[in-house]
Chain A
Amino acid sequence: MDVAELRSGLADLMADSRHELQDRFAKWIGKHMEPHGVAVDDAIGRILEEIISTLIDSVRDGGYENILLRLRDFVGKPGFEQAEAGLRAFRTILVNEVNRSMEDVETKHRMIELIYKDFDVILDGISRSHERMYALRLEKRIEERTAELLETRGLYKGLVEGSPIGVCILQDGKIEFANDELARIGGYAKEEITGMNYRLLLTPESLENYREGIERKQVELDGPLTWRAKIVRKDESLVEIEVYSVPTTFGGRPATQCMVRDISREMRIEQLRQSFFSNVSHELRTPLTTVSGYIKFLLGGKMGELNQSQMQALQAANEEADKLDCLIDTIIDLSSLDSESFRLHLGDVDIARVTGETARSKESQAKHKELRLEVNLPENLPHVVGDERRLELLMSNIIDNAVKFTPEGGTVKIAGYEEGSDVVIEISDTGIGIPKEEQSKIFDRFYQVDSSPTRTYGGAGLGLSICKEIADLHGGRIEVESDAGKGSTFKVRLPREGRPE
């Protein structure tokens, strides 16, 4: 019996017992594959029928392409991982069938040998399909993940590269990474600035400041820090920068991530603003000097005796000229409070003494209106940390207001005491008071309770807004209690220890 006859015999045997083979295979599937999500239903029945037919054909002509192609359709489908086990099971079923129905022992052995040989080829084909399938799956996953990563990277790259803020990573004294804006600020090409020693960029002064303070502070803080520096650009021009730096890791080692903003323009504007105010002050005060100087000179009788009405006219002019001078002071002060470069000149302030001296300087004003000025400031009142001149201005403004808004014969009381962790200076008057609905607005700039053109009280309405800003800068606050018609009480609270800025 040659191989072709053997194949033909085996194929006939399989064809004759195909239903039996199918039933037993279906049983095996039911037992072993249902837990893997393969249900034995009509669809599986049809597939088994088809597979068995294909197997019979394969066995008959010794070609395995068909069965392998057929099996390849299942690649990636549920249960495919079990196809190998299924074929091994079918091989056993088939061997049992041959064993059972073949009588000629030699033919039986040759047939079983053939079955093993054929199935080895098929199983080998399947396991290669498996490998290919896993490789494909892996490739697909890598592709997907890569696409995701590229998208995320593109997003962040776009955000960083396109940012109008300079971004860089500093490590071991070098700029390890820089975006376009950072390169632009430094005046270098990105390739030039990357890898550069960042200390070379800073001016000697900024470098010292960086080494002496910022670097150490950053380590101590282990958090974000904002600082300013000057850098020398490639063309040797200077740029002022503001840096927001955060500790980070880069390449697995500690580094500093910086956001850098070019603030030269802001600084120029600030300088312009300051010089504008300084010019305004000069331009307003120069003519005022002549106006007020001559008025006072005339009033002093140095240019001849004046009659009563001439005297009164000049006195009115004199008072207004003095007010104008105060107003200019106020505007300049307010502009300096707004200024970014404004800093308190901090020191130990004996607030009782400062308030007392300020109150004394108002005595003549008070006497003029026949007001009683009662001052009760204990000498042992705790000192505060603050800017003496600013605090003096604060007290002066509030006492001025009290004197201004208290009718003749009234009383202005100034007291000082401790309350909790605060030192409180209390200024109360028996003046016109402030209606409840106006109380929240009195600290607004240019606000006057009576803003009608015929108002009784002068002033630009700037005083209290300055007071509020000064108190804020000292970490304190001003409270007001008032009843219209009964007078007002202003409480200036300043922290005993001082916690300005």
Chain B
Amino acid sequence: MKTIVVVDDEPRILDLVEKILSAEGYEVVRASSGQKCLDYVTRNTPDLILLDIRMPEKDGWMVYRELRADRRTKEIPIAMLTVKANTIDRDIALDVLQVDDYITKPFSPEDLASRVKNLLGS
């Protein structure tokens, strides 16, 4: 079973994403902060990380940089799961920072599931 880490400071978003992805048959690991995600990946290697950007303390970009800088985690696909802001953010995320995907909230469960499926390459 593929494991997906969902990082978000909003518990209800975590609930929603967990329900959607569990229904698709994935193992969902909840991380309510960037630090918890980083702690988790020191011991485990998930198949995908869904990362919120706007979070207190460590924001999504800081977490992203740390994950990419670490030899053990740099190969894990990462998709940003963030409230839609301006299009420039999206362009920078995809073109410059080369995140694997950029999913905006609100999202439809079907869209989320299909993108996750693509990212996992199955």
Interface residues of A (CB under 8 A from B): 278, 281-282, 285-286, 288-294, 296-297, 300, 302-303, 321, 325, 329, 332, 336, 389
Residue contact A296 to B87, C-beta cutoff 8 Å: no
Residues of chain B lying within 8 A (CB to CB) of residue A293: 16, 20, 106-109
* Chain A, interface SS category: helix
Residue contact A286 to B10, C-beta cutoff 8 Å: yes
Residue in contact with A389 in the complex, picked from B19, B23, B87, B108, CB distance below 8 Å: B87
Chosen A-B contacts, 26 in total, with CB atoms closer than 8 Å, are A282-B54, A282-B85, A285-B106, A288-B105, A288-B106, A289-B105, A289-B106, A290-B10, A290-B15, A290-B16, A293-B20, A293-B106, A293-B107, A293-B109, A294-B16, A296-B108, A296-B109, A296-B110, A297-B16, A297-B20, A300-B109, A302-B20, A302-B109, A321-B106, A332-B86, A389-B87
Q: Which partner residue on chain B sits nearest A325 by CB separation? A: B106
Give the Cβ gap from A252 to chain B, nearest Cβ, in Å: 50
Give the Cβ gap from A42 to chain B, nearest Cβ, in Å: 98
Give the Cβ gap from B83 to chain A, nearest Cβ, in Å: 4
Residues of chain B lying within 8 A (CB to CB) of residue A296: 108-110
Q: Which partner residue on chain B sits nearest A279 by CB separation? A: B54
- B88-113 near A? 1/0 per residue, CB < 8 Å: 00000000000000000111111000
A289-B16, A290-B12 known; A297 and B109 CB under 8 Å? yes
B72 within 8 A of A: no
Residues of chain B lying within 8 A (CB to CB) of residue A321: 106
B58 within 8 A of A: no
Residues of chain A lying within 8 A (CB to CB) of residue B85: 278, 281-282
Residues of chain A lying within 8 A (CB to CB) of residue B86: 332, 336
Residues of chain A lying within 8 A (CB to CB) of residue B74: none
Give the Cβ gap from A345 to chain B, nearest Cβ, in Å: 8
B62 within 8 A of A: no
Assembled-state Cα–Cα distance A348/B83 (Å): 30
Residue contact B83 to A289, C-beta cutoff 8 Å: yes
Residues of chain A lying within 8 A (CB to CB) of residue B108: 292-293, 296
Give the Cβ gap from B19 to chain A, nearest Cβ, in Å: 7
Residues of chain A lying within 8 A (CB to CB) of residue B83: 281-282, 285-286, 289
Residues of chain A lying within 8 A (CB to CB) of residue B23: 302
Give the Cβ gap from B23 to chain A, nearest Cβ, in Å: 5
Residues of chain A lying within 8 A (CB to CB) of residue B106: 285, 288-289, 291-293, 321, 325
Give the Cβ gap from B22 to chain A, nearest Cβ, in Å: 10
Give the Cβ gap from A224 to chain B, nearest Cβ, in Å: 32
Query: B12, B20, B87, B109 — which one has the most chain A CB atoms within 10 A of its CB?
Result: B109
Residues of chain A lying within 8 A (CB to CB) of residue B12: 290
A285-B83, A285-B84, A336-B86 known; A290 and B110 CB under 8 Å? no
Assembled-state Cα–Cα distance A293/B16 (Å): 7
B13 within 8 A of A: yes
Assembled-state Cα–Cα distance A490/B15 (Å): 46
Give the Cβ gap from B16 to chain A, nearest Cβ, in Å: 5
Could you tell me which residues of chain B, from 1 to 50, have a CB within 8 Å of some CB in chain A?
Answer: 10, 12-13, 15-16, 19-20, 23
Given contacts A281-B83, A291-B106, A292-B108, 20 further A-B contacts (CB under 8 A): A282-B54, A282-B83, A285-B84, A285-B105, A285-B106, A286-B13, A289-B13, A289-B16, A289-B83, A289-B105, A289-B106, A290-B13, A290-B16, A293-B20, A293-B106, A293-B108, A300-B110, A302-B109, A325-B106, A336-B86
Assembled-state Cα–Cα distance A293/B14 (Å): 12
Q: Which partner residue on chain A sits nearest B9 by CB separation? A: A286
Residues of chain B lying within 8 A (CB to CB) of residue A288: 105-106
Assembled-state Cα–Cα distance A332/B86 (Å): 9
Residues of chain A lying within 8 A (CB to CB) of residue B20: 293, 297, 302
Residues of chain A lying within 8 A (CB to CB) of residue B110: 296, 300
Assembled-state Cα–Cα distance A296/B111 (Å): 11
Assembled-state Cα–Cα distance A148/B15 (Å): 83
Give the Cβ gap from B4 to chain A, nearest Cβ, in Å: 16
The 3 A-B residue pairs with the shortest CB-CB distance in the complex, in nearest-first order: A289-B105, A289-B106, A292-B106
Q: Which partner residue on chain A sits nearest B52 by CB separation? A: A286
Q: Which partner residue on chain A sits nearest B87 by CB separation? A: A389
Give the Cβ gap from A428 to chain B, nearest Cβ, in Å: 30
Query: A281, A289, A336 — which one has the most chain B CB atoms within 10 A of its CB?
Result: A289
Give the Cβ gap from B46 to chain A, nearest Cβ, in Å: 22
Residues of chain B lying within 8 A (CB to CB) of residue A290: 10, 12-13, 15-16
Residues of chain B lying within 8 A (CB to CB) of residue A291: 106
Assembled-state Cα–Cα distance A469/B34 (Å): 40
Assembled-state Cα–Cα distance A100/B58 (Å): 127
Residues of chain B lying within 8 A (CB to CB) of residue A285: 83-84, 105-106
Residue contact B19 to A297, C-beta cutoff 8 Å: yes
Residues of chain B lying within 8 A (CB to CB) of residue A325: 106
Q: Which partner residue on chain A sits nearest B19 by CB separation? A: A297
Give the Cβ gap from A38 to chain B, nearest Cβ, in Å: 90
